[in-house]
Structure 1
Amino acid sequence: MRMQAPEMSQSLSSVVYQKILISIISGEYPANEKLPSEAKLCEQYSVSRPVLREALTRLKEDNLIVSRRGSGSFVIKRPDDAVLSFSKISSISDIQRCFEFRTSLEGNAAGLAATRRTAEQLGRIVAAAEKINEANKLHALASDEDFEFHLAIAEAANNKYYTTVMKSLRENIKEGMNITRTLSLRSSNNRMDLVQDEHDTILKYIIDGDAQKAEAAMKAHLNNARIRMFEGTDS
C-alpha cells in the first residue's frame, strides 16, 4: 500500500476534522450519541484509518467527543452554530491549533516575564489589563486590547523571538479572540468575568515574580480559551 506524505495526511485529517465538526454543529451527529464506526467514517470520507484517527484525536482535544473502550466515539458537546458566523469552517482547525501553539509559547513567555520584566514593562501590562476591564464594562469586543495584553507580556520576557512570533501571528490570534470574546459577550452567564479573572491571575503572578505560577496561569487561560470556542452561548 502506497504511504501518504506527512503533509498530505495532515491536510486530509484537517478536512475530515472540519467535516465531522460541521456534522456535530448541524446536529447530524447529536450530542450524547455515538459517531458512526471508524470503518463507516473512513468509507464516508474516503480516507485511511490513520487520517481519520488524527481527525478524531483533534476533536477529543477540543473536548467535542470522547472514546469509550469497546463502544466507539461519542459526541459530548454541540458547539454553538454562531461559531460558523464568525469564521470560515476551513480556518477553525487552524484557530484551534493556534491556541494549542500559543499555550506553550505564551506560557513560557509569562514565566520569563515574571522574573525579567522591568517596571516600565509591568506598567504596560497593567495598563493593557485595565483597558480590557474598561471595555468589558461597556460590553465591547476588546480583541485589540486583549491582544495588547498578551503582547505586552511577551515583550516583558525580554526575548525578541517571543515578540516576533506574536506579531507574526497577530491576525490568527485576533481571529480566535474575536470568536471567543463574541461568544462570551453573548453568553447568558458570567463567562466574560471568568476570562477577566484568568487575566487578573496571570497579572498577579507576574507582579509577584512567581515564574512557575505565571506560566501555569497563562497555559490554563489559553487552554480554557480554546475550549470556550466550542461552548454554547447559554452554557
Structure 2
Amino acid sequence: MNPGHALAADRSEPRFSDIIYEKIVGMIADGRFPVNERLPSEQNLALMLGASRPVVREALERLRADNLIVSRKGSGSYVRQRPDSSVLKQVPVGSLADVQRFFEFRAGLEAEAAELAARNWQPADKARISAALEALERCLVLGELGADEDQALHEAIAIATGNQFHVIVREWFRPHFAIGMSVTRSLSLKRTPAHVREVQDEHAAIVEAIFARAETEAHDAMKRHILNARARMFQGVGTETPRPGEQGPRDGGT
C-alpha cells in the first residue's frame, strides 16, 4: 500500500480548504502563479476555484504559514517560492496539508522522545543509535535515498526512551512517518551535497546531545530538525527575496 494513502484513509473526506490549498500549491509549482508575481485577489481565487472566500482565506493563511506566499500591505499576496512539483506527485489528492500537520505533530512528539532518550539510554540503545547514524552516513556517501535508514534512526531513539508508548505510536503511524521521510529524502537528492550534509549534521547533533545526556539540547535539536524537515518540503526551486512590509509566516511557522 502506498504510505500516503493512509493519510487520506484516516478521514472520510478531506477538508475543502485543504483541497483548495493543494490546488494553489499546484498552480505555484507548475508556474501558473510565478515567483514574485501577485496572486489573484481572494474574490477572484474563489471564483476561479469554485470555493467560498472564507475557504480561500483559510488556504491562503496556510500558504503564508508555509512560507510559500507573503502579504504586502495594500498590495495583496505574492508568491515567495515555488516548490518542486514532485512533492505533489508523492501524496494523494487532499492530503498535502495533512502531511504538513503531521510534521507539526512529530515536532512535539519526537522532541520529547529525544529528551527521554538522553535521560534513559542504555548501552544497547547507544549501539543501536550509533549503527543507525552510521548507516545514514553511508547512504549520504553513496548518494542513496536513505528513507529506511532515516526511519531506523528515529525508531532507535524512540526505543531508547524506555517508554513503550513512543514505540507504539510510531507503529500506529508508520505510513505517515514513511511518507514524510520519503518525500524529504527524495527532494534532498536533487539538492547540493552541502545541503544533504546539513541534514546529516542535524542528525549528528541530536545523537551527540543524547549520548551526552543533555536533555534540553537533545529536545531542541530534534524539534529544530523536524521543523526544518517540514520547511524543506517547500524549499523552492525559485525563491523571492523578502521586501520591507511583507507579512511572512506567523510565530512558530517555518
TM-score (norm 1): 0.89
Q: 1:9 to 1:48 in 2, by over 3 A?
A: farther
Q: Which protein has greater RCO, CA pairs closer than 8 Å, 6+ apart?
A: 2
Q: 1:229 to 1:114 in 2, by over 3 A?
A: same
Q: Offset at 1:93?
A: 2.1
2:20 to 16, 23, 27: 16
Q: 1:42 to 1:232 in 2, by over 3 A?
A: closer
1:208 to 205, 212, 217: 212
2:170 to 166, 169, 183: 166
1:132 to 136, 139, 153: 136
Judge conservation of contact 2:69–2:77 (CA < 8 Å) in 1. Answer: yes
* Corresponding position of 1:54: 58
How far does the alpha carbon of each residue in 1:212-235 deviate from its partner, in whole angstroms, 9 at most, with x for none? 111111111111111111224699
Q: Offset at 1:168?
A: 1.6
Residues 1:230 and 2:231 aligned together: no
* Corresponding position of 1:3: none
Higher mean displacement: 142-151 or 170-179: 170-179
* Corresponding position of 1:198: 202
Q: Offset at 1:154?
A: 1.5
Rounded Cα–Cα distance in structure 2 between residues aligned with 1:8 and 1:130: 41
Higher mean displacement: 39-48 or 171-180: 39-48
* Corresponding position of 2:83: 79
Higher mean displacement: 195-204 or 98-107: 98-107
- Matching residue's letter, 2:117: A
Higher mean displacement: 38-47 or 101-110: 38-47
Q: Which runs of 5+ in 2 are unaligned?
A: 1-10, 240-254
Residues 1:148 and 2:152 aligned together: yes
Rounded Cα–Cα distance in structure 1 between residues aligned with 2:69 and 2:12: 24
Residues 1:42 and 2:46 aligned together: yes
Judge conservation of contact 2:39–2:78 (CA < 8 Å) in 1. Answer: yes
Classify the secondary structure of the residue corresponding to 2:78. Answer: strand
Q: 1:234 to 1:119 in 2, by over 3 A?
A: farther
* Corresponding position of 2:35: 31
RMSD: 2.2
* Corresponding position of 2:101: 97
1:219 to 223, 238, 249: 223
Q: Offset at 1:113?
A: 1.1
- Matching residue's letter, 1:82: S
Judge conservation of contact 1:25–1:79 (CA < 8 Å) in 2. Answer: yes
Q: 1:234 to 1:145 in 2, by over 3 A?
A: farther
Q: Which runs of 5+ in 1 are unaligned?
A: 1-6
Would you say how many aligned residue pairs link Structure 1 and Structure 2? 229
Rounded Cα–Cα distance in structure 2 between residues aligned with 1:155 and 1:135: 22
- Matching residue's letter, 1:155: I
**Between the two proteins, what is the percent identity of the paired residues?**
44
Residues 1:115 and 2:109 aligned together: no
Judge conservation of contact 1:9–1:51 (CA < 8 Å) in 2. Answer: no
- Matching residue's letter, 1:146: D
Rounded Cα–Cα distance in structure 2 between residues aligned with 1:153 and 1:233: 33
Judge conservation of contact 1:139–1:185 (CA < 8 Å) in 2. Answer: yes
Q: 1:40 to 1:58 in 2, by over 3 A?
A: same
Q: Offset at 1:189?
A: 4.5
